[in-house]
Amino acid sequence: MGENPLPADGGRRLVGTRRLLVAGALGVLGTATALAASVPAGAAAGTLGAAAAQSGRYYGAAIAAGHMNDSTYVATWDREFNAVTPENEMKWDATEPSRGSFRFTSADQIVSHAQSKGMKIRGHTLVWHNQLPSWVGGLSASDLRSAMTNHINNVMGHYKGKIYAWDVVNEAFADGGAVGTLRSSVFTQKLGNGFIEEAFRAARAADPNAKLCYNDYNIDDANANKTRGVYNMIKDFKARGVPIDCVGLQSHLSSGSVPSNYQQNIAQFAALGVDVQITELDIGGSGSAQADAYRRVTQACTAVPRCTGITVWGITDKYSWRSGDTPLLFDGNFNKKQAYTAVLDALNAATPNTSPSPTTSPNTSPSPTTSPNTSPSPNTSPSPTPPVGGACSATIETTNSWPGGFQSTVTVRAGSSAVNGWTVKWTWPSGQSISSLWNGTQSGSGSSVTVSNASYNGSIAAGSSTTFGFTANGSAATPTATCTSP
């Protein structure tokens, strides 16, 4: 999956802080003054939070209570962001340093500030093998089980009603090994792999209104074994009714390592019926390469309705856990970097998300992936042009597969004339069946599949294309498809 900026220990090694010399070298823009409330509908917003809000999403930052005495830090947080994740303050070692004795002072500081500004709060994190107080390691299995439930009850209970989404279990999957391999930890050793499910069930009971997320790093590539393991777990949870509402893609990346299938990855998780949140975004690099990478990540999220928000893992490079990589949107002097402008522009260009987070019937939200040249160019007359019939073609490509299932993207291409409405048909060779489909309308059943355009992607300009996608049961197949247009 390309270069991986994380060390083999999974990235918990704190990168030594280096003096940053980037001030002035990067794009420094004037202070934005537009506030969310003062942005007229449709106008470009001047801050990340306001721009994200216009598309029905949030844009958050990880905040450390220890830096809240830095007035520029807090001013930048307040001005630019409409969501927050406490960087360390809600972790087990911080909230329950000794068994049964809970401390919330630092986390409360962040939460009350965020509440006073009307920000969304992500809770991070309840069950994680790291930043775990040493007393947990010495417990017997039954003690560990009750300690885990007690921890979830107390921490979620303390913040009940205040948290938008909780990272219930963090980083439980191993980096190597077969698909689905969990990292060995005190939890797997004493409770077995079922600890994840136990934690989610306890979390639902503790605060039924919080969204419950599984959060991990290196699950950004749609085809990586680790991604497939998490995908299979969520699919299984959904099938068995284990409560789960969202997946967090941490996305600790570097400029060259944004996977080419990143958007497709978001879409495949969303197709399982969970929200997708980019939870710890930082991208090492500088200048236009870093800006391009940030732009791509932003566009990938805004293209998928169930991608409900993005959190960057810090505000300024100065305080970043990987400071030496200058991975954030503001330099060490809180100047906006080129990456900042790329993100703001991409958020402003996003299609408003009218139904960002359906709670029922997954996969019904449209996820337009129509290629750019199918949209009318700015100079096109808005007057209705008569529908032009024309031939189309369709090709099926396998974009992911796992034991017993696969994901495909179907490209529907117009010939030398525009098409207005299309229908694609194929026959499964060996008992495959579609489990979910997006950007199209499926009819019929059995081995003969018929998919017509969705309401928003029926018109394709001559020579252009649009896509729809699906996940299916069975072994991956790419049958020949026919396309007809009225």
Residues within the interface to ligand G2I (CB under 6 A) = 11-12, 14, 87-88, 130-131, 170, 217, 250, 280, 321
**Least gap, CB of 65 to ligand G2I (angstroms):** 10
Would you tell me how many other CB atoms lie within 10 Å of the CB of residue 424? Answer: 23
Least Å distance between CB 163 and ligand G2I?
16
Q: Whole-number minimum distance, CB 315 to ligand G2I, in Å?
A: 12
Give the residue among 361, 449, 321, 338 at the shortest CA–CA distance from 14: 321
**Strand arrangement of the beta sheet that strand 392-402 belongs to:** 392-402, 405-414, 465-473, 433-438
Provide φ and ψ at 36, rounded to 5°.
-50, -45
Distance CA 165, CA 131 (A): 20
Catalytic site residue from 80, 197, 198, 280: 280
Classify each residue of 44-83 as buried b or exposed e, where b means 16 or more C-beta atoms within 10 Å of its C-beta.
ebbbbbbbbbbbbbbbbbbbbbebeebeebeebbbbbbbb
Least Å distance between CB 252 and ligand G2I? 7
* Cβ proximity to ligand G2I, 55 vs 125, nearer residue: 125
Structural contact between residues 298 and 346, judged by C-beta atoms closer than 8 angstroms: yes
CA distance 467 to 447: 21
Q: In the complex with ligand G2I, which residue's Cβ is closer, 87 or 275?
A: 87
Nearer CB in complex with ligand G2I: 53/62: 62
Query: Is 200 in contact with 242 (CB distance < 8 Å)?
Result: yes
Q: Which CB atom, from 217 or from 470, has the smaller least distance to ligand G2I?
A: 217
Q: How far is the CB of 27 from ligand G2I (least distance, A)?
A: 26
Picking from 343, 265, 340, the residue whose alpha carbon sits closest to that of residue 55 is: 343
Closest CA to 213 of 282, 275, 269, 263: 275
Q: In this structure, is the dihedral angle defined by the CA atoms of residues 299, 302, 306 and 310, taken in order, positive or negative?
A: positive
Q: Which of 87, 89, 171, 197 is catalytic?
A: 171
Helices (H), 122-194: 134-137, 141-158, 186-191
Q: Which is nearer to ligand G2I, 321 or 402 (CB)?
A: 321
DSSP 55-88: TT-EEEEEE-GGGTT-HHHHHHHHHH-SEEEESS
Compute the least distance from the CB of residue 305 to ligand G2I, in Å: 26
Q: Which is nearer to ligand G2I, 64 or 274 (CB)?
A: 64
CA 79 vs. chain centroid, Å, equals 23
- Helix (H) and strand (E) counts for the chain? 12, 19
Q: Nearest to ligand G2I by Cβ — which residue?
A: 321
Query: Mutual orientation of helices 195-206 and 141-158 as an angle, nearest 10°?
Result: 30
**Residues 59 and 310 sit within 8 Å (Cβ to Cβ):** yes
- In the complex with ligand G2I, which residue's Cβ is closer, 8 or 14? 14
* Closest distance of CB 62 from ligand G2I, Å: 7
Active site residue 171: yes
- DSSP lists the bridge partners of residue 408 as 398, 470
* Comparison of 7 and 208: residue with beta carbon closer to ligand G2I: 7
Residue 427 C-beta: closest distance to ligand G2I, Å: 45
Q: Judged by CB, which is closer to ligand G2I: 284, or 356?
A: 284
Question: Which DSSP string do the residues of 91-115 spell out, in sequence order?
Answer: SHHHH-SBTTB---HHHHHHHHHHH
Minimum distance, C-beta of residue 128 to ligand G2I, in the bound complex (Å): 7
80 annotated active-site: no
Catalytic residue list: 171, 280
